[in-house]
Structure 1
Amino acid sequence: MYFCPMINQETIVALATPSGAGAVAIIRVSGKDAFAVVSQIFQSISGKDITKQKTHTIHLGTIREGTKIYDQVLISLFRNPNSYTGEDVIEISCHGSTFIQQQIIQLLLRKGCRMAQAGEFTLRAFLNGKLDLSQAEAVADLIASDNETSHQIAMQQMRGGFSNEIGKLREELLNFASLIELELDFAEEDVEFADRSQFKTLVERIEFVLKRLIDSFALGNVIKNGIPVAIVGEPNVGKSTLLNALLNEERAIVSEIAGTTRDTIEDELIIDGISFRFIDTAGIRETNDVVENIGIKKTFEKMDQAQVVLFLIDSSTLNVSRIEDLKIEMERIKNQYPLKTLLVLFNKTDLMTADLMSNLKSQISNSLFISAKNKSGIDELKNKLFSFINSGVLRNNETIVTNSRHYDALLKALEEIQKVRWGIDSQLSSDLLAIDIKQVLYYLGEITGTVTNDELLGNIFANFCIGK
């Protein structure tokens, strides 16, 4: 169970770099006694007392306990409030031996530090006003970013792009809310301090912005989690060969024997900053093989989970008379998975006649012609996959919502602001308008952390890594 220390001033310590051996490791110490604790174990080569040194300075020396020397280190000093957490912070850069790391951390614990909990450094940064809550969550997204686009969005949010947009809306609404509250104080005199026409204009603008942010979540979720793409088809049509061609490596076993792929194989490819998770599935056919049947069952499960389905067809087995059957099969798949993007891939086009290709192009929509073995048409396929993503907003630096907690709060805020708009149109009394306005302010405040509680913070920061 995660404990959220709202007013905890203990000095904490944790490894800030990944665990394991490396050239260098960084141990982070934060809290009111950080300088006093580290001064007990650090001896500067120049004899300096680190408790008297300026902020943002680096010092060379040794970590020792009595006469025992553990390592020669560099320590970086950050005095409050000019540090990541807003507290006194010291970062110890030691050699990357796991033994040395553990010895120094244990030594600090014996001197009075406590092991940091997951995300506790960033939690303290939030509590000390260094970051708002959405910026703090962006720190975790930045650490987890594995492609250019997710990195770009996390950086924008950590710098306050999303927070500023929400904060500005909340501030404007708060100004009108104060005027509405003022009207309540003069209810007997029947006066209006808040211009209803201006108020309605503001409410409509807030509604527009909230809808845009909510709509951006579909793209944000794709960027953050990647797009699952299932490669399906009958046995031996070239699914594994296609996966290998897309990844440009021999990831899946290729064989002339039908049913070679009996389990799903997954791998990831970054196309223009967007992550695509390709899933090579078992071939779909009637079979008495128990193991192969399990693989086929998993194929349908992966089709359920995928956003894009690549239906691969061996064009060397086709003829003109089978095109109608193929169209019926495509229609059946579309009806079964109406919300998924279906792309038909005709493979082995090097064995296809010109007449057949012409017929297929004219009758089968949303299709491509490739040769996975010869890697022909693979670049066109990648371009087609990327075209499914509406990424124009990225180039315009528009805010994109990637966090499901923010998405939920925005939906609730939109519902309440629509009640406010209806109230203005219906000429509701100020006291009733004030109730709905407070709810909008509450949900917007939840996003940035203006409104929060221990349980919410515990749920958020429990998902952080230790040391951040």
Structure 2
Amino acid sequence: MIPQDSIVALATPSGAGAIAVIRISGQDAITIGNSVFKSIKNKELTTQKTHTLHLGHIMDGSKTLDEVLVSIFKGPNSYTGENTIEISCHGSTYIQQQIIQLLLRKGCRMADAGEFTLRAFLNGKLDLSQAEAVADLISSDNEASHQIAMQQMRGGFSNEIAKLREELLNFASLIELELDFAEEDVEFADRTQFHELLNRIEFVLKRLIDSFAVGNVIKNGIPVAIVGEPNVGKSTLLNALLNEERAIVSEIAGTTRDTIEDELVIGGIGFRFIDTAGIRETEDVVESIGIRKTFEKIEQAQVVIFLFDSSEFKVSGLKLKVELEKIKNQFPLKPLVIIGNKADKLEESEIGDLKSEIPEILLISAKEKLGVEELKHQLLSFVNTGALRNNETIVTNTRHYDSLLKALNEIQKVKFGLETNLSSDLMALDIREALYQFGMITGQVTNDELLGNIFANFCIGK
């Protein structure tokens, strides 16, 4: 049931600022706003046109709380689909609270987390995947995650799903019709066309499912573990990448006892760098814990940077190759970037020997910041940004990914049933389940628990 009461919340971040926006939405929102607003031109908000701005004062009886601008949005032409007003007041926390408390006394209630967007969904202004994209847009902190969220909020993903669902629904109706005429043994659904549709749906679902591998890391940042023996320059490299003194640099081996993390945006993609404790044999209990955590971080990372001191290669080259093979064997599917640090100390002949021994090596000097840009380009090459450039749909939401997997499973069951001449009533069951999973993505199938879980993660005021 769609709520009819009026809700209020601060729509801008809490705390003092130049301007704050207080949002009210509901059937009586404009009437309530009018009861506390005194226009400088004696206008009544209830008689004004939608999408207009009005200057005046918020009044608590005869007391003036603030000079404000009030925006009017009349339903259904508003974000929530309801009557909505937004009060732009000065950003004093005292003023914000005084206005909100006044509106509560006038009949509003405080909005729950995400309730404005929930009402937009319930009133048909957004489908569920678009509503979830609103939260992703708010939390986006790099160009790529922003681009994906914008595309989904505009309906790119939901339109693709809706089209597949509509085509499948049309065939499902014909299959269901056949069940009503089971005794006559007639076929209303063209099996050849149906098979072509199932192939097309399977292809699209697989593409969307595959895109999650890229979308998930873009949304959350790509974790990159920097590993190697102690004192080879891991912390110096982290500082060079971030262009700040984030990690402690010392000549004493084992200085980094725990992992240090920080983020950097490269080419619009977020990378989360993890400077780990050095890998070596040690009897130090604390350092041993750090080394154990290093391997845990490698497990969690999408990319591994193995750093070594290139000036010591003649002495420790054999040991280095053993360590490299260990990491390659333990994590065969992870991209591995092999970096020889302190290359500024090498002679030309030594550089040639290193490249012949390890052809894929990247030589840098973290201290002098030589080769750091080449490293950034190499990291960026591991990310499939072609889909972003081509504006393809990319899945970033785990709930959507789960429903797509289940829908694909049902489509493959239907396809198998069609190829083995399975009875229409059994195929109809699998088709219904596939339609259910499509509906779960866009919100055509919902329940209170699902909505509660989704909108609980929103911020208050959105």
Into which bin does the TM-score normalised by the smaller protein fall? over 0.9
The one-letter code matched in structure 1 to 2:422 is L
In 1, the alpha carbon distance for the partners of 2:51 and 2:327 equals 62
Report deviation, 1:355: 3.0
For the Cα contact (< 8 Å) 2:305–2:337, is it kept in 1?
A: yes
In 2, the alpha carbon distance for the partners of 1:363 and 1:284 equals 22
What is the match of residue 465 of structure 1? 459
Structure 1 segments of 4+ aligned residues over 4 angstroms from their partners: none
In 1, the alpha carbon distance for the partners of 2:251 and 2:166 equals 66
Map residues 273-288 of structure 1 onto 2, 5 A cutoff.
273-288=268-283
In 2, the alpha carbon distance for the partners of 1:259 and 1:173 equals 60
What is the match of residue 139 of structure 1? 134
For the Cα contact (< 8 Å) 2:161–2:438, is it kept in 1?
A: yes
Secondary structure of the residue that 1:70 maps to in structure 2? Answer: strand
Query: C-alpha offsets along residues 143-174 of structure 1, whole Å, 9 cap, x if unaligned?
Result: 01111111111111001100110000000111
In 2, the alpha carbon distance for the partners of 1:65 and 1:389 equals 56
Structure 2 residue corresponding to 1:348, chosen from 314, 327, 342: 342
Structure 2 residue corresponding to 1:224, chosen from 219, 224, 237: 219
Residue 166 of structure 2 is aligned to residue 171 of structure 1: yes
What is the match of residue 439 of structure 1? 433
Structure 1 residue corresponding to 2:409, chosen from 408, 415, 418: 415
In 2, the alpha carbon distance for the partners of 1:46 and 1:366 equals 73
In 1, the alpha carbon distance for the partners of 2:337 and 2:329 equals 14
Residue 304 of structure 2 is aligned to residue 298 of structure 1: no
Secondary structure of the residue that 1:452 maps to in structure 2? Answer: coil
Report deviation, 1:247: 1.1
Give the TM-score of the pair, scaled to structure 1: 0.96
Report deviation, 1:299: 2.3
In 1, the alpha carbon distance for the partners of 2:65 and 2:337 equals 61
For the Cα contact (< 8 Å) 1:176–1:199, is it kept in 2?
A: yes
Map residues 20-39 of structure 1 onto 2, 5 A cutoff.
20-39=15-34
Report deviation, 1:198: 0.4
Structure 2 residue corresponding to 1:395, chosen from 366, 382, 389: 389
Map residues 7-22 of structure 1 onto 2, 5 A cutoff.
7-22=2-17
In 2, the alpha carbon distance for the partners of 1:239 and 1:100 equals 50
Residue 353 of structure 2 is aligned to residue 359 of structure 1: yes
Query: C-alpha offsets along residues 290-317 of structure 1, whole Å, 9 cap, x if unaligned?
Result: 4433333332332222111111101111
In 2, the alpha carbon distance for the partners of 1:405 and 1:299 equals 30
Structure 2 residue corresponding to 1:107, chosen from 99, 102, 111: 102
Map residues 53-452 of structure 1 onto 2, 5 A cutoff.
53-319=48-314, 322-452=316-446
In 1, the alpha carbon distance for the partners of 2:413 and 2:285 equals 57
In 2, the alpha carbon distance for the partners of 1:367 and 1:463 equals 44
In 1, the alpha carbon distance for the partners of 2:431 and 2:291 equals 53
Q: Judge which range, 450-459 or 324-333, deviates more.
A: 324-333
Report deviation, 1:353: 3.0
Secondary structure of the residue that 1:40 maps to in structure 2? Answer: helix
Report deviation, 1:322: 4.2
Report deviation, 1:256: 2.0
For the Cα contact (< 8 Å) 2:417–2:427, is it kept in 1?
A: yes
For the Cα contact (< 8 Å) 2:2–2:119, is it kept in 1?
A: no
The one-letter code matched in structure 1 to 2:339 is L
Report deviation, 1:39: 1.3
Residue identity (%): 75
Report deviation, 1:442: 0.5
In 1, the alpha carbon distance for the partners of 2:292 and 2:323 equals 19
Query: C-alpha offsets along residues 316-362 of structure 1, whole Å, 9 cap, x if unaligned?
Result: 1121x643432222111111222322211100011123333223222
Q: Judge which range, 148-157 or 300-309, deviates more.
A: 300-309
Query: C-alpha offsets along residues 169-205 of structure 1, whole Å, 9 cap, x if unaligned?
Result: 0001111111111111211111111100000000010
How many residues are treated as equivalent by the alignment?
462
Secondary structure of the residue that 1:318 maps to in structure 2? Answer: helix
In 1, the alpha carbon distance for the partners of 2:316 and 2:283 equals 26
The one-letter code matched in structure 2 to 1:366 is E
Gaps of 5+ in 1: 1-5
Secondary structure of the residue that 1:32 maps to in structure 2? Answer: coil
Secondary structure of the residue that 1:310 maps to in structure 2? Answer: strand
Report deviation, 1:262: 2.3
What is the match of residue 3 of structure 1? none
Q: Judge which range, 297-306 or 377-386, deviates more.
A: 297-306
Secondary structure of the residue that 1:27 maps to in structure 2? Answer: strand
The one-letter code matched in structure 2 to 1:369 is L
In 2, the alpha carbon distance for the partners of 1:447 and 1:149 equals 22
The one-letter code matched in structure 1 to 2:151 is Q
In 1, the alpha carbon distance for the partners of 2:309 and 2:322 equals 17
In 1, the alpha carbon distance for the partners of 2:360 and 2:455 equals 44
Report deviation, 1:255: 2.0
Give the TM-score of the pair, scaled to structure 2: 0.97
Report deviation, 1:365: 4.7
Gaps of 5+ in 2: none
For the Cα contact (< 8 Å) 1:323–1:360, is it kept in 2?
A: no
For the Cα contact (< 8 Å) 1:327–1:364, is it kept in 2?
A: no
The one-letter code matched in structure 2 to 1:360 is L
For the Cα contact (< 8 Å) 1:80–1:88, is it kept in 2?
A: yes
The one-letter code matched in structure 2 to 1:337 is F
For the Cα contact (< 8 Å) 2:2–2:123, is it kept in 1?
A: no
Query: C-alpha offsets along residues 271-297 of structure 1, whole Å, 9 cap, x if unaligned?
Result: 111111111122223334444333333
In 2, the alpha carbon distance for the partners of 1:81 and 1:197 equals 44
The one-letter code matched in structure 1 to 2:312 is T
For the Cα contact (< 8 Å) 1:55–1:77, is it kept in 2?
A: yes
In 2, the alpha carbon distance for the partners of 1:171 and 1:370 equals 55
Query: C-alpha offsets along residues 207-240 of structure 1, whole Å, 9 cap, x if unaligned?
Result: 0000000000000001100111111112211111
